[in-house]
Amino acid sequence: MAEPNYFSLENQTTTEQLLFSIYINASIGVLLFLIFIFTRPHRPDLYSPKKKNPLLPRTYVTWLYKLFKIKDDQVYESAGIDAIVAVKITRLGLRFCLFSLPVAFGVVLPLNYFGHAQQKGFDQFSMANIDSSDHGLLPVHCLALYYFTAVLFWLLHSQNMDFVKLRMKYLQKGSPQQYSILVKGDDVERFDDQGIYALFSDLYPSAVREAKIIQFPYELKKAVRKRDNVLNKLEGYMWRYATSSSAKRATLKKTVQGVRNYVDAIQFYTNKLERLNELVKREKEKPHEILGVAGFVTFRTLQAATHAVQCIHVEHLLSLVVKSAPEPRDVCWTNASVRPRVSLLRLLIMKFATAILVLLWIPPIMFVQSVVSVSKLSSYFPRLHNFLEAHPKILAFVSGALPPLILLAFMSLLPLLCWYLAKAEGYEAYSWIQLAQIEKLGWFYVIDVFMVKFYAGTFIATFQSILQDPQHVLRILGNGMPKIVTFFINYVSALGFITIPLTVSKIIPLVYQFFFLRCRNLTPRKKKLC
């Protein structure tokens, strides 16, 4: 009895794969968006936590109309200039689709359809349907490629000019951080506020407004942490007493003056809270310990602050590092206290760790992708082959929609990991940490998604042909690459339909609040904070 051809089963329904994958991804995206629409009016603490957030009506649909009327100034006041840039980048993608899709669907895809390679299904609309006899069609693809590139560069240039105008506009607003610089290094440790003020006053006469060395009140922070713990316990006991039907208050077994006895819990923590309030008050009045590693210098003019950032002030660069000061809400204080030499060492270590993780991420992805393929599943479970042949919809899901969804779920673990790696590099602002996080994610996606899928889907499949005809390796690889286009279309479809609704709906915090917080007797304030 002949063995079933598992590989042909995996590739015979490319059109069904694409359509069914789009259907599944769109359904998941619509479901997440509906969850967001129906939960948004009831959870303003989750979806509108900022007080400066532009006011939108707590309705199910009409807020969408108000959303498109929000001005850039309102977005700037609510979330800063980075949010405006993010919105404009989204508009850039929509404009590129507006110019490129008519040419793609009106010219390129019909030409591929009339190729002579006799491909079937969706592959008939790809370049895999173009063979050596279709010489007259190749110049059209070349011109289309130049057109797409020209449109993209034109949009990028116009968008860059908009960014320049936007930056000039908001620089004129005169935000405090625009006139300040962040200074770090060994030379800073030798100065207090007056010393760092005198140093930059000598370099920039009559231009320095004030200078402050970062102070870290260790004892005050410890006292505040203790007070918060006591306050949470007191609040919990008072809430349970207020919501309980019993008039009896909770008690604690404590040792008072050498005698172990039961005491009233609310009264015990009330007295302890009063003592800690006095301790926090005394610590506030004490002179705090000077951290002496970093500080901020504020200038009177934007020109002086700009010159200070661009100039080299000392012979040894790490002795005095000068950077533009981030917005006060954007400062990562734990990294601001790290010495420049330590930051450089941490940067090198984290870069090396990122490279190692990118390589270590490849085997699990290749294993998962190989396990969920139809050919592997059918070889492990022979009865599955006949079942998939009898149910083309399930075959389309397993071969088309399932691998991108599993890869998307696997890659969704990376943003948090990249965040901690970027933070460990020692950047002093959260926006700089986010930029490093995006850079690391880019390497993961290029190496672990594109390169791995190309290697597994094209190079391995054509390796025997390359050995037999090594002189035409480029032609063999060129003919093999279009055969994996279905996977990337399905993956982009999953990203487009699922990622944004998943981010907007905040489904994980929502599920946590809805299911887990209901099982705990939390006070209203703690529920709001969670």
Name the pLDDT band for 170 (thresholds 50, 70, 90): confident
Q: So what's the pLDDT on residue 12?
A: 45
pLDDT at 82 over 70: yes
* pLDDT-based confidence at residue 6 (cuts at 50, 70, 90): very low
pLDDT in tens, 431-450: 889 889 988 988 888 887 77
Instruction: Answer yes or no: is pLDDT of 150 > 90.
Output: yes
Mean residue pLDDT of the chain comes to 77
Closest of 371, 373, 374 to residue 385, by C-alpha: 374
CATH superfamily of 176-216+289-326: RRM (RNA recognition motif) domain (3.30.70.330)
Q: What is the mean pLDDT of residues 337-341?
A: 81
CA-CA-CA-CA torsion sign (397, 399, 402, 405): negative
pLDDT, tens digit (0-9, with 9 covering 90-100), for 62-81: 777 777 777 777 777 777 77
The set of residues, in sequence order, having a beta carbon less than 8 Å from that of 310 and lying 6+ positions away, is: none
- pLDDT for the residue numbered 279: 87
With a pLDDT cut of 70, the percent of the chain lying above it is 73
Looking at residue 372, its pLDDT comes to: 61
- Reduced to 3 states (helix: H, G, I; strand: E, B; else coil), residue 429 is strand
The secondary structure element, H or E, covering residue 260 is strand 259-264
Other Cβ atoms closer than 10 A to 9: 18
Residue-level pLDDT at 11: 46
For 203, other C-beta atoms within 10 Å of its C-beta total 14
Strand partners, 256: 259
* SS3 annotation, 440-484: HHHHHHHHHHHHHHHHHHHHCCCHHHHHHCHHHHHHHHHHHHHHH
Range with top average pLDDT, 27-41, 43-57, 392-406, 476-490: 27-41
Residue 21: other Cβ atoms inside 10 A? 27
Higher pLDDT, 51 or 251: 251
In the predicted model, is pLDDT for residue 201 greater than 80? Answer: yes
Q: What is the per-residue pLDDT across 87-126, written as a single tens digit (0 to 9) for each? A: 888 888 889 989 998 988 888 888 887 777 777 766 677 7
Q: Is the pTM of this model over 0.85?
A: no
Percent of the chain predicted with pLDDT > 90: 6
Confidence tier at 154 by pLDDT (50, 70, 90): very high
Predicted pLDDT at 428:
87
What are the tokens at 361? 């991420």
Tokens of 258: 């050498």
Mean pLDDT calculated for residue range 154-163: 90
3-state secondary structure string across 21-85 = HHHHHHHHHHHHHHHHHHHHHHCHHHHCCCCCCCCCCCCCCCHHHHHCCCCHHHHHHHHCHHHHH
Enumerate residues 6+ apart whose C-beta is below 8 A from 483.
Answer: 11, 123, 128, 457, 458, 461
Range(s) of the chain covered by CATH 3.30.70.330: 176-216+289-326
- 151 has pLDDT over 90: yes
On the 0-12 / 13-18 / 19+ scale of CB atoms within 10 A, 398 is buried
What pLDDT was estimated at residue 526?
64
Return left, alpha or beta for 297; rule: phi > 0 is left, psi -120 to 50 is alpha, else beta.
beta
| pLDDT band at residue 5 using 50, 70 and 90 as cut-offs | very low
Per-residue pLDDT of 474-504, as tens digits, reads: 555 555 555 566 677 777 888 888 888 888 8
Give the CA diameter of the chain. Answer: 99
pLDDT over threshold 70, residue 468: no
Phi, psi angles (nearest 5°) of residue 297: -120, 125
Residue 149: per-residue pLDDT = 92
Please tell me the predicted confidence (pLDDT) of residue 157.
92
- Given this model, what pLDDT does residue 221 score? 80
